A and B are shown apart, each in its own frame.
Chain A
Amino acid sequence: MITIYERPQSLTANTMHYCPGCTHGIIHRLVAEVIDELDLREDTVGVCPVGCSVLAYNYFNLDMQQAAHGRAPAVATGIKRVHPAKVVFAYQGDGDLASIGAAEIVHAAARGEKISVIFVNNAIYGMTGGQMAPTTLIGQETTTSPNGRDAAVQGYPIRVAEMLATLEGSAYISRVSVHNNVNVIKAKAAIKKAFQTQLEGKGFSLVEILSTCPTNWGLTPLEAAKWLENNMIPYYPLGEFKAAKEVGS
Chain B
Amino acid sequence: MAKVLMKGNEALGEAAVRAGCRFFFGYPITPQSELPHYLAQRLPEVGGLFLQAESEVAAINMVYGAAGAGARVMTSSSSVGISLKMEGISYIAGAELPCVIVNVVRGGPGLGGIQPAQSDYFQAVKGGGHGDYHLLVLAPASVQEMVDLMAKAFDLADKYRNPVMVLADGILGQMMEPVEFPAEILQELPAKPWATDGARGRGPNLINSLYLEPEKLEEHNHRLFEKYRQMQEQETMAENYHTDDAEVVVAAYGSTARIAKAAVDMARKEGIKAGLFRPVTLYPFPTEEINQACAKAKQVLAVEMSMGQMIEDVKLSLNCRLPVSFYGRVGGMVPSTRAVYNEISALAQKGGEQA
- Cα–Cα, bound, A77→B25 (Å): 10
Partner of B53, one of A41, A57, A74: A74
Query: B68 in the interface, Cβ–Cβ < 8 Å?
Result: yes
Asked if B69 and A83 sit within 8 Å, CB to CB, the answer is yes
Asked if A57 and B87 sit within 8 Å, CB to CB, the answer is no
- A156 → chain B, closest Cβ, in Å? 24
- Closest A-chain residue to B195, C-beta based? A63
Partner of A67, one of B55, B61, B70, B201: B61
A residues 168-188 touching B (CB-CB < 8 Å): none
- Cα–Cα, bound, A44→B204 (Å): 10
Asked if A65 and B207 sit within 8 Å, CB to CB, the answer is yes
The total of Cβ contacts below 8 Å across the A-B interface reads 129
Asked if B58 and A45 sit within 8 Å, CB to CB, the answer is no
- Cα–Cα, bound, A67→B205 (Å): 14
- B214 → chain A, closest Cβ, in Å? 16
Scan A45-69; emit 1 where CB is below 8 A from any B CB, else 0: 1010000001101001111111110
Query: A29 in the interface, Cβ–Cβ < 8 Å?
Result: no
Asked if A66 and B210 sit within 8 Å, CB to CB, the answer is yes
Asked if A74 and B199 sit within 8 Å, CB to CB, the answer is no
Chain A residues within 8 Å of B63, by CB = 78
Query: B354 in the interface, Cβ–Cβ < 8 Å?
Result: no
Query: B197 in the interface, Cβ–Cβ < 8 Å?
Result: yes
Chain B residues within 8 Å of A106, by CB = 54
Query: A71 in the interface, Cβ–Cβ < 8 Å?
Result: yes
Asked if B65 and A47 sit within 8 Å, CB to CB, the answer is yes
Asked if B65 and A65 sit within 8 Å, CB to CB, the answer is yes
Asked if A107 and B58 sit within 8 Å, CB to CB, the answer is yes
Asked if A43 and B200 sit within 8 Å, CB to CB, the answer is yes
- Cα–Cα, bound, A68→B207 (Å): 12
- B308 → chain A, closest Cβ, in Å? 33
Chain B residues within 8 Å of A107, by CB = 53-54, 58
Known: A68-B88, A81-B49. A75 touches B65 (CB 8 A): yes
Partner of A63, one of B53, B55, B199, B209: B199
Asked if B200 and A42 sit within 8 Å, CB to CB, the answer is yes
Query: A82 in the interface, Cβ–Cβ < 8 Å?
Result: yes
Scan B164-208; emit 1 where CB is below 8 A from any A CB, else 0: 000000000000000000000000000000001111110011111
Query: B154 in the interface, Cβ–Cβ < 8 Å?
Result: no
Query: A162 in the interface, Cβ–Cβ < 8 Å?
Result: no
Query: A124 in the interface, Cβ–Cβ < 8 Å?
Result: no
Asked if A64 and B196 sit within 8 Å, CB to CB, the answer is yes
Query: A103 in the interface, Cβ–Cβ < 8 Å?
Result: yes
Asked if A42 and B199 sit within 8 Å, CB to CB, the answer is yes
Chain B residues within 8 Å of A62, by CB = 199, 204
Chain B residues within 8 Å of A225, by CB = none
- Closest A-chain residue to B67, C-beta based? A78
Scan A101-128; emit 1 where CB is below 8 A from any B CB, else 0: 0011011000000000000000000000
- Cα–Cα, bound, A54→B49 (Å): 29
- Nearest 4 CB-CB pairs, A to B? A78-B65, A74-B61, A78-B66, A75-B65
29 A-B residue pairs with CB within 8 Å: A47-B65, A55-B210, A61-B199, A64-B204, A64-B205, A64-B206, A64-B208, A65-B196, A66-B207, A68-B61, A68-B64, A71-B58, A74-B57, A74-B62, A74-B65, A75-B65, A77-B58, A78-B25, A78-B61, A78-B73, A81-B49, A81-B62, A82-B23, A83-B69, A83-B198, A86-B198, A103-B55, A104-B58, A104-B61
